[in-house]
């Protein structure tokens, strides 16, 4: 069931041309919102069929220009992100900085650019697509996990600072999700171990009691709920979609 909004809201979804971002864009459109997507690769943005703006979330000037170049947004879904792995003590500074720049600084810049107009109008949603890595450590993902822990800190701080403005901030935290990112992770395991693809996939999903990857549409469903009036009092929360992984 979709929820039609009496007043059409405008949502911006970063990293919106594929995977979780595209699923979110489609869900919000189906629910009656205006949707603009953002990303670095214009051809992919064009092929999505959505209104779009080209933007690298790590570049403050590009983020500010992108927000200034579109109608004011009521909802920002900060979805753009990357995941690269290495043992923490063997992680080069360049990889560490890249994970922080894309996953954490990108969310920070989108918050700074998008939230002030929401405050002026007295309503808004800032939603970051984080990860179970925001709540749990994983081996060989030190830079990525640190960036996602930082995202949750960002959201919790915003929630407190914005509590009386009508704007909320939350993080959606999925486990391994059926995207190209998961496929690349499986490829890396196959390339560096003696496991085949089926075994590598099983290893990644071993901690999920349901023993399956999360569907992008399931992540989009959480975002769809967070933008409704039913979620008005949900603020500063990690909304976990993990098949029960963190329950144990």
CATH code for position 130: 3.40.50.720
Indicate whether 247 belongs to any domain. no
Which residue shows structure tokens 């043992």?
Answer: 87
Indicate whether 94 belongs to any domain. yes
Is 37 within 8 Å of 50 (Cβ atoms)?
A: yes
Is the same domain home to 81 and 126? Answer: yes
Helix (H, G, I), strand (E, B) or coil at 125: strand
* Number of neighbours of residue 116 by Cβ within 10 angstroms: 13
Q: In what order do the strands lie in the sheet with 167-174?
A: 51-54, 34-39, 10-14, 75-78, 124-129, 167-174, 238-241
- The structural domain count of the chain equals 2
Is the same domain home to 150 and 184? Answer: no
Is the same domain home to 77 and 148? Answer: yes
Verdict on whether the full-model pTM lies above 0.85? yes
Is the same domain home to 235 and 185? Answer: no
Give the Cα separation of 168 and 204 in Å (integer).
33
Q: Which of 125, 83, 111 lies closest to 239, judged by CA?
A: 125
Is the same domain home to 92 and 112? Answer: yes
Helix (H, G, I), strand (E, B) or coil at 172: strand
Is the same domain home to 81 and 189? Answer: no
Indicate whether 45 belongs to any domain. yes
- How far is residue 42 CA from its own chain's centroid? 20
Indicate whether 185 belongs to any domain. yes
Token pair recorded at residue 27 = 């869900």
Indicate whether 78 belongs to any domain. yes
Is the same domain home to 46 and 91? Answer: yes
144 part of the active site: yes
Is 128 within 8 Å of 238 (Cβ atoms)?
A: no
Is the same domain home to 135 and 183? Answer: no
The pLDDT score that the predictor gives to residue 180 is: 82
Indicate whether 2 belongs to any domain. no
Q: Which residues of the chain register pLDDT less than 70?
A: 1-7
The pLDDT score that the predictor gives to residue 67 is: 98
Selecting among 52, 138, 140, 144, the annotated active-site residue is 144
Q: Which of 55, 73, 70 lies closest to 16, judged by CA?
A: 55
Is the same domain home to 224 and 201? Answer: no
Angle at CA 124, nearest 5°, toward 122 and 130? 150
The pLDDT score that the predictor gives to residue 204 is: 84
Is the same domain home to 117 and 203? Answer: no
Is the same domain home to 148 and 202? Answer: no
Q: Which domain holds residue 199?
A: 179-213
Is the same domain home to 191 and 224? Answer: no
The pLDDT score that the predictor gives to residue 7 is: 62
Indicate whether 83 belongs to any domain. yes
Indicate whether 1 belongs to any domain. no
């Amino acid at each position: 069931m979709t929820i039609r909004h009496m007043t059409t809201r405008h949502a911006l979804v970063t990293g919106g041309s594929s995977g979780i971002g595209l699923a979110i864009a489609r869900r919000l459109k189906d629910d009656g919102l205006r949707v603009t997507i953002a990303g670095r690769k214009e051809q992919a943005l064009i092929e999505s069929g959505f209104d779009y703006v080209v933007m690298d979330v790590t570049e403050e000037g590009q983020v500010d220009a992108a927000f200034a170049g579109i109608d004011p947004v009521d909802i920002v879904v900060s979805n753009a992100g990357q995941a690269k792995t290495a043992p923490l003590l063997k992680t080069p500074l360049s990889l560490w900085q890249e994970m922080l720049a894309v996953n954490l600084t990108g969310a920070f810049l989108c918050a700074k650019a998008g939230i002030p107009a929401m405050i002026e109008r007295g309503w808004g949603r800032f939603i970051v697509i984080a990860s179970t890595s925001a709540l749990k450590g994983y081996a060989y993902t030190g830079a990525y996990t640190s960036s996602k822990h930082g995202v949750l800190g960002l959201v919790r701080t915003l929630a407190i600072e914005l509590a009386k403005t009508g704007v909320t901030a939350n993080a959606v935290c999925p486990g391994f999700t059926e995207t190209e990112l998961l496929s690349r992770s499986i490829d890396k395991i196959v390339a560096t171990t003696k496991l085949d693809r089926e075994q590598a996939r099983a290893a990644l999903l071993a901690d999920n009691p349901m023993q399956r990857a999360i569907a992008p549409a399931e992540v989009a469903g959480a975002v769809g709920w967070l933008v409704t009036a039913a979620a008005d009092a949900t603020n500063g929360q990690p909304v976990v979609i993990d098949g029960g992984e963190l329950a144990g």
